[in-house]
Structure 1
Amino acid sequence: MKFKYLLLAATFACPISAYANDAEANSSSASAQPAAAETAQPTKRAFTTGVARGRDLLDSAISTSALDETEIEKYAPRSVGEIFRNIPGMRAEPYAGEGYANISIRGLPLALGGAKFLQLQEDGMPVLEFGDIAFGTADQFLRADLTLSQVQAIRGGSASTFSSNSPGGVINLISKTGEEQGGAVQLTTGLDYETYRMDFDYGAKLSDTVRFNIGGFYRQGEGQRATGYDAYKGGQLKFNITKTFDGGYIRLYAKFLDDKSPQYLAVPMQVTGTNSDPHYANVGGFDARTDTMLSRYLQSNVTMSKNNQLTRYDMTDGMHSKVKSLGGEAQFELGEWTITERFRYSDISGASRGVYLAPSLTGPAAAISAIWARTPGSILSYANGPSAGQVIANPAALNGNGLLASATLFDTDLDDLTNITNDIRASRVWDLGGGKLTATAGFYKAAQTIDTTWHWSSVFMEVKGDGQAALLNLALPNGTSLTQDGYFGFGTSFLGNVRRNIYDTQYSVNAPYASLNYHIGKLAIGGSLRYDFGTARGQVFGSTDLGRPASVTSYDVNGNGVISNAETRVAVYPLLTPSPVHYDYDYLSYSIGVNYRIAEQLSVFGRYSRGGRANADRILFSNYVNSVDGSLRRPDAAYDPVTQAEGGVKFRGADTELYVTGFWAKTKEHNINLDRSYRAYGVELEGSIKKGPFRLNAGATYTKAKITADALVAAMVGHVPKHQADLIFQVTPQFETERFVIGANVIGTTDSYAGDDNLLKIPGHALVNGFAQYRLTERMLLSVNANNLFNKLAVIETQETALPATGIVQTRVANGRTVSASVRFDF
């Protein structure tokens, strides 16, 4: 299959960016226009992501945002997800680390994490075809460094028809391509946390028609939270070379990413009060902002591999992201037609390893011990660490908080997530009736492999900060051990022995598309169509239906010739009884919009769209797929449609910009444990003002959303979807002189619910990030960034959806204050 796609690429003259500016032939692409040029000619600003051809935003019936590299650097992002939260309308919860963020837009639901209804792109092509692959979300394979020129985002609208699987929108990270000669080296260190990083970037012309850009980063350190080891280690290298000619260009590019970063999952917190007015606080000896259940005493997981061979896995891998990409793009003229073509092959793999605390399985040590020992008076002792072998005489005083964690080691190999994509299109402009008619037609083809192995284990841990949590052993009152070296079982013993899974699947996506846009005077009207059809093929091994236990056997893990209690709980894969995956799908997307430019500085627009998102691994191991022949029991589960309407006003003056958009969306959602419909409506604001040295950028989104149907739990109908706040906002004031910049970036949200049952609330919060820059010389810049400047204890999510009797919830919170300093040398 991969060879066929490589041949397909070779049949085309040369590849091109599906979303590159048509002005690339004049060697100035929208993918890297300097901010200064946009300021000098604001009316010439073109937006090129998710549209047929780049054109002035005030002449386009779309909702867009763009963040330039100079602004992104000030926001102190610790991951790409923290960049996305500065896009109006975007709901980003990027607090698991470099990946695994929850990302959605305009009230579209976040059922199981990732970016289901959004497509994350790099240089106009998808990182992964599906943004919510379990334990392999698209943001995990993206990094921001000095090679980043701009982030463009389109919300709704034409994203439904100019990208597959992106009905909510597209976020596109655009690389520098050597337009500006010169480079930079930047050295960064944490002032109150351990990180050491070097970034570099260099671009130059090899001739009048050939230019290149190369850059990347390398970093190492423990990171923003205490883990007890270097949880960050690795880097990225990117390169591209461009040849321009009359009427077009050719570009080749490559990317190599090999980077380890920690996965920050839920940690215990104390909660008091009521469901509607909860009060969250740290437990003794553990700060949820700076600590994690990762530990120097938990660096390995011993369990069965996908071949049922006893294997040790390195838990310090965390989220290990490996990408080797090769691609190219081209644009050229054929008569009066402009042909654009792009191809990319990405060999993607890695791992996702972290510590998961299930609801109600962390609490007072005596109570949790009694659950698993099935008797009171059980005995706890240290399995490793400096107190290894020592009996815990008073469990209630353990570490000053008395807590015992029944922890599941989320240990998943991303064996193969290879993504191969090709997009070719032709566009032409006719003079017609005093206006211009633009027609575009194209064909998109992609292949996405999802080959992952879930080999989880179950251990007992103490709740202790500073990366020093030890594993614990549990024994019956008579001394009979229930654990082995801290392991209660070598599978998901705490979760009912489910989800011991292997995915070995391939997805094919095909999509012809076309658009027409007519622009006459102040009026622009257009429409587009896209027809997606594809296949899902392969096989899966494991719990073939939701709730069916995995296979469990006895195995002498430590090789001492004796089978312990823990060794009777060894999960294996049913390699002789795979379940096939074999089904097809298709759906039609369309979008119609009209824009009227009332004046040079003012326009109004409206758009109605229907798009879809094909479901991938998230519906496998469910009753949607027949485990006997791989067909769909419910054909409607193959994809989820999204219908949207939007209308707004755009104003752009010399010093002020304001965009106001009202929106409405209706969504269906099929997932392993969901069969639902949603509705959302609201208003989105984005604006900026610049007066002398003062500048203010701001955005806010007010949303009302509810569940309108639920085939599995009817009581959920009428409830607000989990994590959906009424208001999210971003505000960035700054003061800038020739040598000095100081400012703050405020990210905020109002209250939301922890679960769809609308019981336990998550309090709203505002996080303040501060930044200051001083230019010592023309080529030397000093910067200080503070993320969560005031060390706010901001709860993002809880595993529990109602106040538990123990008063202990498993939460994800925003990282505490982290301050970094950088020195940049330009040359």
Structure 2
Amino acid sequence: MLKKTLFCGCALFALCAELQPASAQVAPQAQDPKAGEATSSTSTQDQNGDEIIVTGSARQQRRFDVSYAANALSQNDITKLAPASMADLLGKLPGIQVESTGGEVQNITRIRGIPTDDGLAIFQQDGLPLFHDVNGNFFRGDSLNRYDLMTDRVEVVRGGPAPIVASQAAAVINNVTVSGSQTPRGKAQLTYGTTDLYRLDLMQSGPLGANTYYAIGGFLRKNGGYRDNGFPNDRGGQIRANIKHDFDNGSIKFTANYLNDHNVFYLPVPVADPRQPTRSLDPWLAFFTGTANTPALRNAQIKYRDSTGVVQSLARDLADGRHTEFWNVGLQYEGDFDDWHVSAKGGYTSGKLRFDALYSTSNPVDGAANATLTAARAAQFPTATRLGYAIAGTNGTQVYDPNSDSGLVMQSQYRYVASNFSSAQGDLSVTRKFDTGLGSHDLKIGAYGSFYSESNFQAYQNYLMQVKGQPQLLDLVAYNAAGNVVGYVTDKGVLQYTTTLNKGNSDNSVLALYANDTWELTRGLRIDGGIRYERYHLNGYALTSQAYNLGDTATLADDAVQGFNGGQQNRTINTGITNWTVGANYDFTSHFGGYVRASHLEVPPSGTIGYAINPVVITTKANQYEVGLKAAFGRSYLYVTGFYTKFNPLNSSFVPFDPATGAAQATVPFISQVIVKGIEADGALNIVPWFSLGGSLTVQDPYYSNLQSTVAGLSAAQVEGNQVIREPKVFGNIRPSFNFSSGDAKFELYGRFEYTGRRFVDFTSFTELPAYHSYSAGVTATYKSWQFQVVGDNLTNARGLTEGNTRTDTLSGQGTRIATFGRPVFGRNFRFVLSKSW
């Protein structure tokens, strides 16, 4: 199916190119004067060089005029930042801390210290989400929203009116797509990377007829990967297209896109010997290229017991990675009727996810100690006198001595998740601007609704393996005094067959009503306020399971295998939430201004609650306060925002891994207040034409307060005032750029210094993730319609760790002051990009 779709896409690209004159040149496009409409140029600036924002306000505005923190990144901006992923792009902005070490998608994004993996950031495409929930079943916004040449610009709103603009939002990331115009334009782009990356991007747009325009584009990509898996890493592609027709008073646009992509997921790995924390594991598991992913799991057999008592065996391939396939169609209408502006948007998404990944579980252990003949093992194999290791599947004949390597062995968990999902969403709003005796009002009233559903199947099982890159699976073998095999603790490397088994479904709906008014009292003084009420209906079921002994006396691996027992948990939740915001903006001059804002955010339980077993159900609530100062002089600017957020309550509950049983423990309820105080700055200095200096800086203090539940092994006193896990107090970047030309050729050299401060892996702030920094650089050469770019990241191979090992260290750390287990940053790599515009 993918091959056929991509072939058709390439054919369409070629056809569209043939429809245009060969001599067509790129022409700059003026901003569309119609309120609220996105434009279709590679610039986000008006004629005065000011950035234009369409996200978060009733009508498009200059960035300087909005009373909240926002950024608009054009294609040119993104090319210069040269991000490796969407998360990497967002991490260049103030107030957004990311862990982009998991691969291309499903990375960690935290907005202003918000301690959730998604930062309550809602991804949109042209002002509407592709899937309603902030987090789907093992996918989130950056899994569905991929950057390519069909992305005209990316707009990011932090705080401010986000709770009114979108559901569940502390931030909004809006991908504005390219629309066609009367002027034909197109671009082709080839990328090669030293990670064995090959990528083709194409885009073509132009007129179809009278007042009718088209745009089509997408990408094809294969990437060997930043780490050496021993199998292909990322492969797949995307195609997006739209047709737009302009009326005298507005426009209508039909959109469609299709994604079919595989992405391998990188999980944390041990980087130091837990027995001797100063001893690096680099000789066996290289910091920058090593991974526990292995070709030995290209044909993993996952066994579980179904509800009829039949043992099922799923054949899975770790190389499939996160396989996301979905299609979306949408319809957008904008129209002006005298003083009224009407906006109607609708979309439908249908897709599936098949997720194969190898998760880290417990720290590696001493191989000899792990092979001790314990009483439990001796009881199973009464004639055994010792246990020893062998390469999995060799019937104990290919002996393995851990001391020939690091002396360690480790557990890892193969996770398979299957989900089908769909989401229908629509938004209808009317906006009217009118004058009164005391200033003017710009009033917007609207309604949003969505029906969204997900199915769920999860099966996890544990393996025993070497501590090295591309590890071989190990069998732990029982031998008698004569050296003969009398049994196995494992079965072809499987330490425990399926230890976690879930199946269920959720069908959900939401209806939201919202209103926002911007009141301009005098020139430069504006007060705005908004409210959004949402009503949720969550409905789902989850099949229950228990452990069964499958009866194979030759191995212990099947002694406690999960199977469905015929039970079912049904769950229905009806809840309503109310979000609001109020702000004031005053521009002292055309170059200096400031604003204040307060907002209230409520986030209801996710739709995934419907198919969870015994979940912690809670509505997260937050009060947010902001004070901003802004200065803009042509291409130079400085935006500084102070923020204070109090979550009360915040659900940080988690599911720990039990190394003794190899299974997930019961959910640990961790309900507390979280307070985040900070300041973020975003600036650019452009004094001379040949040099510019940009950068962002965030200084914050995110900490826990008032733990409200009793957590086993953790007291409130151990947590009170501690730094929120995995959140730095300081992070930012500096970006110098030099420009010069020679004849018709233009050159730009740029660099980037990035810094991430100290973090902790656990609630008790015991185990530290040290601060780290990195250097990146690039050069772009442009000659007429041709452009060549070279980009290098982490040029000095600076070391940094993210995440820790969340399966086991969240409560009290790793037993060491400095983390010995984590997800390393990527090493030095380069990308070469050649593009042609017409």
Aligned to 2:721: 718
Match of 1:382 among 384, 391, 405: 391
Alpha-carbon shift at residue 433 of structure 1 (Å): 2.4
Aligned to 2:507: 506
- Kindly indicate whether the alpha-carbon contact (under 8 Å) linking 2:212 and 2:246 is maintained by their aligned counterparts in 1: yes
Match of 2:143 among 128, 140, 145: 140
Alpha-carbon shift at residue 195 of structure 1 (Å): 1.7
Greater Cα shift, 249-258 or 666-675: 666-675
Aligned to 1:294: 293
TM-score for the superposition, normalised by structure 2: 0.86
Query: What are the superposed Cα offsets for residues 35-74 of structure 1, whole Å, 9 maximum, x if unpaired?
Result: 2x7264235x431112222223333211111222112123
Partner SS, residue 770 of structure 1: strand
Partner SS, residue 254 of structure 1: strand
Aligned to 1:409: 414
CA gap 1:807/1:284 in 2 versus in 1, 3 angstroms: farther
- Kindly indicate whether the alpha-carbon contact (under 8 Å) linking 1:271 and 1:807 is maintained by their aligned counterparts in 2: no
CA distance in 1, matches of 2:127, 2:460: 36
- Kindly indicate whether the alpha-carbon contact (under 8 Å) linking 1:585 and 1:638 is maintained by their aligned counterparts in 2: no
Partner SS, residue 83 of structure 1: helix
CA gap 1:615/1:368 in 2 versus in 1, 3 angstroms: farther
Alpha-carbon shift at residue 513 of structure 1 (Å): 0.3
Alpha-carbon shift at residue 250 of structure 1 (Å): 0.4
Partner SS, residue 224 of structure 1: coil
Match of 1:424 among 423, 428, 432: 428
- Kindly indicate whether the alpha-carbon contact (under 8 Å) linking 2:804 and 2:819 is maintained by their aligned counterparts in 1: no
CA gap 1:750/1:583 in 2 versus in 1, 3 angstroms: same
CA gap 1:94/1:536 in 2 versus in 1, 3 angstroms: same
Partner SS, residue 64 of structure 2: helix
Aligned to 1:821: 832
- Kindly indicate whether the alpha-carbon contact (under 8 Å) linking 1:25 and 1:249 is maintained by their aligned counterparts in 2: no
Aligned to 1:783: 789
CA distance in 2, matches of 1:566, 1:619: 31
CA gap 1:807/1:770 in 2 versus in 1, 3 angstroms: closer
Partner SS, residue 70 of structure 1: helix
Query: What are the superposed Cα offsets for residues 59-101 of structure 1, whole Å, 9 maximum, x if unpaired?
Result: 3211111222112123332221111101110111121112221
CA gap 1:731/1:31 in 2 versus in 1, 3 angstroms: farther
Is 1:692 aligned with 2:689? yes
CA distance in 2, matches of 1:249, 1:744: 41
CA distance in 1, matches of 2:33, 2:633: 29
Partner SS, residue 293 of structure 1: coil
Which one-letter code corresponds to 2:519 in the other structure? Y
CA gap 1:220/1:131 in 2 versus in 1, 3 angstroms: same
Match of 2:199 among 186, 197, 200: 197
Alpha-carbon shift at residue 197 of structure 1 (Å): 1.4
CA distance in 2, matches of 1:161, 1:532: 10
Equivalent residues in 2 for 1:253-332, closer than 5 Å: 253-270=255-272, 281-304=280-303, 309-332=312-335
CA gap 1:487/1:162 in 2 versus in 1, 3 angstroms: same
Query: What are the superposed Cα offsets for residues 718-757 of structure 1, whole Å, 9 maximum, x if unpaired?
Result: 2111012111102221112242111123332111111111
Which one-letter code corresponds to 2:360 in the other structure? L
CA gap 1:702/1:395 in 2 versus in 1, 3 angstroms: same
Aligned to 1:60: 66
CA distance in 1, matches of 2:226, 2:780: 22
Is 1:128 aligned with 2:131? yes
CA gap 1:254/1:279 in 2 versus in 1, 3 angstroms: farther
Alpha-carbon shift at residue 25 of structure 1 (Å): 6.8
Alpha-carbon shift at residue 541 of structure 1 (Å): 1.9
Is 1:392 aligned with 2:399? yes
Alpha-carbon shift at residue 297 of structure 1 (Å): 1.7
Aligned to 2:672: 676
Partner SS, residue 359 of structure 1: coil
CA distance in 1, matches of 2:315, 2:101: 28
CA distance in 1, matches of 2:68, 2:337: 29
CA distance in 1, matches of 2:373, 2:207: 68
Partner SS, residue 672 of structure 2: strand
Alpha-carbon shift at residue 227 of structure 1 (Å): 0.9
- Kindly indicate whether the alpha-carbon contact (under 8 Å) linking 1:591 and 1:610 is maintained by their aligned counterparts in 2: yes
Match of 2:779 among 772, 783, 795: 772
CA distance in 2, matches of 1:418, 1:371: 51
- Kindly indicate whether the alpha-carbon contact (under 8 Å) linking 2:695 and 2:735 is maintained by their aligned counterparts in 1: yes
Aligned to 2:561: 570
Partner SS, residue 798 of structure 1: coil
- Kindly indicate whether the alpha-carbon contact (under 8 Å) linking 1:51 and 1:159 is maintained by their aligned counterparts in 2: no
Aligned to 2:493: 486
- Kindly indicate whether the alpha-carbon contact (under 8 Å) linking 1:689 and 1:697 is maintained by their aligned counterparts in 2: yes
Aligned to 1:353: 356
CA gap 1:280/1:32 in 2 versus in 1, 3 angstroms: farther
CA distance in 1, matches of 2:85, 2:373: 39
Match of 2:604 among 614, 617, 630: 614
Query: What are the superposed Cα offsets for residues 234-273 of structure 1, whole Å, 9 maximum, x if unpaired?
Result: 1111101111112211011111000001100111110689
* Aligned residue-pair number: 760
Alpha-carbon shift at residue 564 of structure 1 (Å): 4.1
CA gap 1:453/1:721 in 2 versus in 1, 3 angstroms: same
Aligned to 1:760: 767
Structure 2 segments unaligned to the other structure (5+ residues): 1-28, 379-384, 654-666
CA gap 1:258/1:184 in 2 versus in 1, 3 angstroms: same
- Kindly indicate whether the alpha-carbon contact (under 8 Å) linking 2:31 and 2:39 is maintained by their aligned counterparts in 1: no
CA gap 1:586/1:237 in 2 versus in 1, 3 angstroms: same
- Kindly indicate whether the alpha-carbon contact (under 8 Å) linking 1:22 and 1:54 is maintained by their aligned counterparts in 2: no
CA gap 1:39/1:515 in 2 versus in 1, 3 angstroms: closer
Which one-letter code corresponds to 1:791 in the other structure? N
CA distance in 2, matches of 1:26, 1:133: 35
CA gap 1:709/1:805 in 2 versus in 1, 3 angstroms: closer
Q: CA RMSD in A?
A: 2.7
Partner SS, residue 458 of structure 1: strand
CA distance in 2, matches of 1:234, 1:371: 48
Larger relative CO (CA 8 A, sep 6+): 1 or 2? 1
CA distance in 1, matches of 2:683, 2:155: 16
Alpha-carbon shift at residue 377 of structure 1 (Å): 4.2
Partner SS, residue 103 of structure 2: coil
Is 1:600 aligned with 2:590? yes
CA distance in 1, matches of 2:598, 2:568: 43
Alpha-carbon shift at residue 617 of structure 1 (Å): 5.1
CA distance in 2, matches of 1:147, 1:391: 54
Match of 1:222 among 214, 219, 224: 224
- Kindly indicate whether the alpha-carbon contact (under 8 Å) linking 1:319 and 1:350 is maintained by their aligned counterparts in 2: yes
Match of 1:580 among 556, 570, 573: 570
Partner SS, residue 58 of structure 2: coil
- Kindly indicate whether the alpha-carbon contact (under 8 Å) linking 1:22 and 1:53 is maintained by their aligned counterparts in 2: no
Partner SS, residue 285 of structure 2: coil
Which one-letter code corresponds to 2:491 in the other structure? Q
TM-score for the superposition, normalised by structure 1: 0.87
CA distance in 1, matches of 2:410, 2:819: 11
Is 1:645 aligned with 2:656? no
Aligned to 1:207: 209
Which one-letter code corresponds to 1:507 in the other structure? N
Alpha-carbon shift at residue 489 of structure 1 (Å): 2.2
Structure 1 segments unaligned to the other structure (5+ residues): 1-20, 493-498, 544-549, 557-561, 626-633
Partner SS, residue 71 of structure 1: helix
CA distance in 2, matches of 1:757, 1:623: 28
- Kindly indicate whether the alpha-carbon contact (under 8 Å) linking 2:697 and 2:733 is maintained by their aligned counterparts in 1: yes
- Kindly indicate whether the alpha-carbon contact (under 8 Å) linking 1:554 and 1:563 is maintained by their aligned counterparts in 2: no
CA gap 1:42/1:774 in 2 versus in 1, 3 angstroms: closer
Which one-letter code corresponds to 1:343 in the other structure? G
CA gap 1:374/1:725 in 2 versus in 1, 3 angstroms: farther
Alpha-carbon shift at residue 618 of structure 1 (Å): 6.1
Partner SS, residue 76 of structure 2: helix
Aligned to 1:235: 237
CA distance in 1, matches of 2:549, 2:519: 67
CA distance in 2, matches of 1:818, 1:33: 31
Alpha-carbon shift at residue 621 of structure 1 (Å): 7.6
Equivalent residues in 2 for 1:238-253, closer than 5 Å: 238-253=240-255
CA distance in 2, matches of 1:124, 1:339: 14
CA distance in 1, matches of 2:816, 2:699: 34
CA distance in 2, matches of 1:273, 1:303: 32
Aligned to 1:663: 643
